[in-house]
Structure 1
């Protein structure tokens, strides 16, 4: 198994060459293999694609952007309590969001719906779709976050509740639809592929019952807590990497993200479907009524902790990476830089137009860049009194991201990354890799080998 890890790196490098050679569009990729973005598309998105606008906001990876100034500063943590009662109209479409965290606490991609019977928000996955993602607009740099929620269910359907940073530090809860009495926990450091970190916490049925899942993230240790009981603890001093001389511990500002996604597509590898609980049944009763698979989120509470001692502070508005050679917590500063752009053509280089009206700028620039949204009434059913959908206008079919292991956060086919190590466990491209336990290693290796033969 150890030997396979090294051979995988060669496979990914070869596939990178193949994809680059066959690409017939103007998509520019960014990762450790290809390098950083050019100045005309300066921002490396969470999914390893270069661009401006939304690419420069949540998840913009400073490591592979044109330089440290390309990504917009990250809105600083603020204590909050969100009850998702009749809340869908207050969630901003990801493709029209310009960085104003004062006006928008949450953004979404995919389809969401209010569930009046339980005063909750549904993250929905209609037939043959890629599901939905709900993301906080503010980042948390150590703190406690809790979600009162119910997972989805049935084989091939995956629900997730995670913390995810711009340099791909990650803290996970994942729920597999055919294993409703266990929740998987995991963590990653800077997107490093390590499949030995996964561990389960036992609980009662996660689809039928609300549970409170907490992440208590401190500088020296991390607790996963279910219904007030600590299920797992990770100590930072246990993550020391003698090869690099650093601690492989999540330590950079991260967003809260919740999602539902299809792990069991018929196009997924055997191992992916095995991990996800089998192939999805797209004609299951849920698809008939209410018309989709769904996860239910009732509330999210965020409590911010103080930043690490010694943090450089020149303000109180935003986090920013300030050291191109160090993307650990030591390379993060707190500033008064604006987090708002004026239009979807902007980046961290020219954010001053963000002082104008976000709504008017969003409307005009969205049209010019072919990003579209739609709102529609849901099927008549007991779940989802209203339903709202947000997709990129660039979508051209099923996203390759839905074939990956881990938390899938991207819905756009244009996000497919051409190899490299900038990928997240829930990232986007068909070669973006990371894992949840030893099974995920099989998933990635098997998929890569099959692609070559």
Structure 2
């Protein structure tokens, strides 16, 4: 049986404090301040992990506040192990060290990866460490089920271009598709594709993305096509078409969370039931992911190349003609660093002293911490919330507090199993959640 999922604990290795207030917010008309220059995927300012995947250069202090994004690599992800997965509190931008980064509680079961959502949690999200600038991606998967439970498989760029597959748990015979340009919320562009029993049966869901069109396929059959030529916006004088390097993201999240907007809850099929048969049987809602295959776009000239080691932007407009395929480094030395100072907190130079001198927001959804380098001696034994007993500094946190903050993956100590067989949880820090859940719902998954 799966051990109890962790209660609210430290979400950043080496964290020294958690403040009540949220990080500073950011937007197109409100850029991040220099001291916390990176605008995360959830529109909050910080350093460290805020400056890596999902960092929006348009809303950050400057274009070079965010680290460049690792270029596309053809790869088949077998999804039968978590050896190449890191929590975002452990990742410093080197794609050779991990295939996936994320937050939540991914598990391995029967050679597949489960994205889990225990009671009173905000689920699990994983993203590739490399980016696609056009290409094909295919996921073999089964969705979750239940009112308010949403499964997603998407492409999402740092400037919020997006191509979606989404499933609401009350309709297992329909997959919803959509696309967005730079986060502009136009819900009129959605389209549905019929599918047979997305919960009990594996299906292959594919996105074929070129500079000219998006094609959604299910089990090899074309379900929908959207041409760039049909997206011209005469008012803004541009194509409202996804066109910038994007990560593959897979997630399970509670669209029916009672604190969400009524429109979101209704779309998700109603309020989520944390005492459902699925929860009673397994201890969590879950979606199952098998093989995921990425094929990069093949072209000798931009847009869509992958000749260098990283993608960056030359202009705040962040359209495909401003993407630079070059050789800028993608890594930082610690979770105190930013694109403006990639070596800040480097233990090789500071021997950990610099990391002690500052407490800043370093991990989205993870509160305030010193931002130490994962794996250094300074951090050994510091993840007190990740022991096998599931006990930690937040073990006394009530379920109501967890529901309010959306910080922890589980606050009631519930355990779960799938069909009586053991599932294996990723080792290391498991209590870091998605505190900015409403931002996820609005920007990432709707």
Q: Give TM class, smaller chain.
A: 0.7 to 0.9
2:327 matches 1:333:
no
Asked whether the 8 Å contact 1:224–1:230 carries over to 2, the reply is yes
| TM superposition shift of 1:267 | 2.5
Question: 1 CA distance for matches of 2:315 and 2:327?
Answer: 17
2:153 matches 1:161:
yes
Asked whether the 8 Å contact 2:151–2:253 carries over to 1, the reply is yes
| TM superposition shift of 1:375 | 6.1
Structure 1 unpaired stretches of 5+: 1-22, 409-422, 427-434, 436-453
Q: 2:71 aligns with which of 69, 76, 79?
A: 76
In the alignment, which residue of structure 2 is the partner of 1:272?
264
Q: 2:35 aligns with which of 26, 40, 48?
A: 40
In the alignment, which residue of structure 2 is the partner of 1:431?
none
Residues 296-307 of structure 1 mapped to structure 2, 5 A cutoff: 296-306=288-298
In the alignment, which residue of structure 2 is the partner of 1:96?
90
In the alignment, which residue of structure 1 is the partner of 2:48?
53
Asked whether the 8 Å contact 1:212–1:227 carries over to 2, the reply is yes
- Aligned residues, how many? 378
Alpha carbon RMSD of aligned pairs, Å? 2.9
| TM superposition shift of 1:89 | 3.4
In structure 2, relative to structure 1, the CA distance for the partners of 1:366 and 1:83 (3 Å cut) is farther
Asked whether the 8 Å contact 2:118–2:283 carries over to 1, the reply is yes
Asked whether the 8 Å contact 1:95–1:392 carries over to 2, the reply is no
2:207 matches 1:215:
yes
What does the per-residue CA deviation read over 1:291-311, in whole Å, with 9 as the maximum and x for residues that have no partner? 100000011000001358345
What does the per-residue CA deviation read over 1:105-136, in whole Å, with 9 as the maximum and x for residues that have no partner? 111210011112xx101000001110000110
In the alignment, which residue of structure 1 is the partner of 2:24?
28
What does the per-residue CA deviation read over 1:307-364, in whole Å, with 9 as the maximum and x for residues that have no partner? 583459996100011113x21001110111111111000111222579999xx93235
In structure 2, relative to structure 1, the CA distance for the partners of 1:319 and 1:371 (3 Å cut) is farther
- Greater RCO (CA < 8 Å, at least 6 residues apart): 2
| TM superposition shift of 1:290 | 1.8
Residues 343-354 of structure 1 mapped to structure 2, 5 A cutoff: 343-352=334-343
Asked whether the 8 Å contact 1:53–1:346 carries over to 2, the reply is yes
Scaled by the length of structure 2, the TM-score of the pair is 0.78
In the alignment, which residue of structure 1 is the partner of 2:254?
262
**Matched residue SS, 2:197:** coil
Asked whether the 8 Å contact 2:336–2:345 carries over to 1, the reply is no
Asked whether the 8 Å contact 1:120–1:296 carries over to 2, the reply is yes
Question: 1 CA distance for matches of 2:417 and 2:328?
Answer: 46
Residues 10-409 of structure 1 mapped to structure 2, 5 A cutoff: 25=21, 27-33=23-29, 35-85=30-80, 87-116=81-110, 119-306=111-298, 309-310=301-302, 316-324=308-316, 326-352=317-343, 361-364=373-376, 374=386, 376=388, 379=416, 381=418, 382=420, 384-388=422-426, 390=429, 399=435, 401=437, 403=438, 408=441
| TM superposition shift of 1:266 | 2.3
**Matched residue SS, 2:104:** strand
Asked whether the 8 Å contact 2:72–2:306 carries over to 1, the reply is no
What does the per-residue CA deviation read over 1:396-421, in whole Å, with 9 as the maximum and x for residues that have no partner? xx8452x57xx64xxxxxxxxxxxxx
| TM superposition shift of 1:229 | 0.3
Asked whether the 8 Å contact 1:290–1:383 carries over to 2, the reply is no
Scaled by the length of structure 1, the TM-score of the pair is 0.77
**Matched residue SS, 1:288:** helix
2:443 matches 1:424:
yes
Asked whether the 8 Å contact 2:232–2:240 carries over to 1, the reply is yes
